[in-house]
Structure 1
């Protein structure tokens, strides 16, 4: 039996390729790639549905029809499917066809069908859906993502929070051993660092978008970015309704106005939240676990702020729990997971914002912050960080506990459920926020029930799930 998920779609296809496979091609290409399996019939007697191989009759002819359609611009906006992506596979003695749809590069997106950009699809869980107008704009922005150096008309120094700018100048002066910077003219300082720039159209120096986001007053920022919201929340557990502490950008006195004000306030709070523990390493010296962990969270925070799509209507969220810290920003990460955690240069969406942190020696100048985050987790013997990327957002999770501290040996997709159920039985509705789709959630719970980790209590709407206590 076969199940559909984020990367697998099954279709019935006896004599001709089904017309309803093309929205899936669009969805896979715009999301994270995937494989369409032709020659399967849905069995709805199971929940979730399973797919049974029933085969195709004329595999070679169907493959040619698929390639002809894939290369027809009126059918598919870009020829994302190549002949090498298609294979004939024998399953249970029946011929089926596997079509691998790669994730399209940013410059080719969106991939749409029928010659109409409004026929752009996304993949969510096991389903394809039309992209909304807001989502379509986000995809188009990804093709030319960095506008941080663009200058703004009708903004001046009165739109800047001077207190935040002075703190940044002091940090920069200290980090670079240049005490004279503290007394340098503010606009000259900003000009020297590319934040106050010449408009080549009229020759006048003007504020860049990066300068406004980094040091602007909140009410000035929302004139350009109406949905600007940076939010740091402290809770014990992910399922808790009430928060213990919160820092967010607002108009209220005492709340941060901008990116840099938020960064300094959150770093101060995280220092207060991390206990000061030391560990003997190799019997030779003591490494400060606290500083290693804080350095990793600082890199993650800078990454989150530098890679965010500030044109989005989504907010930046930093969520601090007992067992993990989640950094979530609007906008798709512009490099792969492998590149992010590797020793490669980053490609920040907002390069001027990223450079402002680097120049003050607050972030990794090589852009290899992801690699440092991964190595910090290994040094501290913590769970490896997790990275989730969708066309609308990027989420990085840094664990605060090791596997032996948090839970028994479990696959990563079961850990959030296990932690949530430690507080007692919960309904599926109470667990649903942990999963990318209802199908995914039911599948994870079924796996945990089969493994005798979880048991069902009650039936139908009254069903609740609980951990099975180990004897």
Structure 2
């Protein structure tokens, strides 16, 4: 049997008689990231060659592992079914293989010693203790339905860019039979699209987090989300130090950049880069290629915005080069990569933002965005 290299999803532990203490940090990090496999009784490769120390009494260590997994003072949740613990024989040495699945969102973070701050994540081939921002994100993801619909105290219509609301109303009327009436107040309209909400505690109508992010003034947004940063960088080459064009929230040219304004400006930017002479479409028409690529780029942009974790200090960023477009946001996808590509389901991190986009035809309820993106990348690969 050939063992894989140690890396993000593989860890080796040198031990012979007992379960090593460092196992639990790796258990937490694998469970909180993408899952992985731990091999006990194997030392890290020296000059590319594994050193098999072997386990003297595999049954003893397996029993110790199962017992501690069930101890809530040791670890917050048991993720390992007994069939995931296997004893192997390699070079006449007994090796224990432990497959650790990724924990469901509702259980993250998996932590140690009855202290949620004793949580780890996997970065490269190392187990690293989570920081406060990462802990906040885990807690937010575990309570995903209570995120961007939260009523805000101390924010009102003065915190919004009214011109952006008017532009949105225009798009709303083009897309919907339910025409916005000039007699309807701005508050009623924002209630209708989900940017404001009735506070069930006292019956008042309040702006919610989605409404602030989507239509807000920059300074108002960062009062609630201090790390809020929307960025677009165009370079000739990804390795270039200098950029050709940059659009960023809060800069001189875009002092009131919110999500809706960013979407409108950046979508025009990335559409302009669609080649006019290259046509890989099946029927040989440039028109279909341009239309389909525009839809795929729109889906990538909208998905980046509505799935981002806005409590992070990391920017939401597009890198635009001659060879590729990279969309990056803070926050792990709430579905698997396979589910995203197949479009089997969609779980937006910010469900109210998704609704606001959907009201003007810019988000697919069925989760087909990933499928569209994948199909177009396959055509140009």
Describe the superposition over 1:278-297 as per-residue Cα deviations: whole angstroms up to 9, x where unpaired: 63755575553222222111
Structure 2 counterpart of 1:412: none
TM-fit CA distance, 1:134: 2.1
Structure 1 counterpart of 2:99: 100
Q: Any idea what SS the aligned residue of 2:25 has? A: helix
Q: Any idea what SS the aligned residue of 2:326 has? A: strand
TM alignment of 1:60-459, pairs within 5 A: 60-146=59-145, 147-177=147-177, 180-181=180-181, 184-250=184-250, 252-277=252-277, 279=279, 287-378=287-378, 381-382=379-380, 402=381
Q: Which moved more, 1:20-29 or 1:88-97?
A: 88-97
Describe the superposition over 1:264-310 as per-residue Cα deviations: whole angstroms up to 9, x where unpaired: 00011112222324637555755532222221111011111101111
CA distance in 1, matches of 2:212, 2:341: 30
What TM-score do you get using the length of structure 2 for normalisation? Answer: 0.93
Q: Any idea what SS the aligned residue of 2:39 has? A: strand
Describe the superposition over 1:208-252 as per-residue Cα deviations: whole angstroms up to 9, x where unpaired: 111111001111111111111100111122111111111111063
Q: Any idea what SS the aligned residue of 1:148 has? A: coil
Describe the superposition over 1:131-167 as per-residue Cα deviations: whole angstroms up to 9, x where unpaired: 1222222222211134211111222212110111111
The 8 Å contact of residues 3 and 50 in structure 1, kept in 2 or not, is answered as no
The 8 Å contact of residues 271 and 297 in structure 2, kept in 1 or not, is answered as no
Kindly tell me: are residues 206 and 75 of structure 1, through their superposed partners in 2, closer, same or farther at Cα, counting changes over 3 Å?
same
Q: Which moved more, 1:226-235 or 1:193-202?
A: 193-202
Kindly tell me: are residues 163 and 277 of structure 1, through their superposed partners in 2, closer, same or farther at Cα, counting changes over 3 Å?
farther
CA distance in 1, matches of 2:182, 2:371: 33
1:40 to 42, 47, 70: 42
CA distance in 2, matches of 1:253, 1:278: 33
TM-fit CA distance, 1:114: 2.1
Kindly tell me: are residues 221 and 286 of structure 1, through their superposed partners in 2, closer, same or farther at Cα, counting changes over 3 Å?
closer
CA distance in 2, matches of 1:50, 1:114: 35
Task: List alignment gaps of at least 5 residues for structure 2.
Answer: none
What TM-score do you get using the length of structure 1 for normalisation? Answer: 0.76
CA distance in 2, matches of 1:51, 1:114: 32
CA distance in 2, matches of 1:33, 1:299: 28
The 8 Å contact of residues 2 and 52 in structure 1, kept in 2 or not, is answered as no
Structure 2 counterpart of 1:463: none
Task: List alignment gaps of at least 5 residues for structure 1.
Answer: 383-401, 403-471
Structure 1 runs of 4+ off > 6 angstroms? none
Describe the superposition over 1:351-374 as per-residue Cα deviations: whole angstroms up to 9, x where unpaired: 111111111012223222111111
Kindly tell me: are residues 268 and 240 of structure 1, through their superposed partners in 2, closer, same or farther at Cα, counting changes over 3 Å?
same
CA distance in 2, matches of 1:153, 1:281: 51
Structure showing greater relative contact order (alpha-carbon pairs closer than 8 Å, 6 or more residues apart): 2
The 8 Å contact of residues 87 and 97 in structure 2, kept in 1 or not, is answered as yes
Kindly tell me: are residues 285 and 121 of structure 1, through their superposed partners in 2, closer, same or farther at Cα, counting changes over 3 Å?
closer
Kindly tell me: are residues 43 and 364 of structure 1, through their superposed partners in 2, closer, same or farther at Cα, counting changes over 3 Å?
closer
TM-fit CA distance, 1:68: 1.0
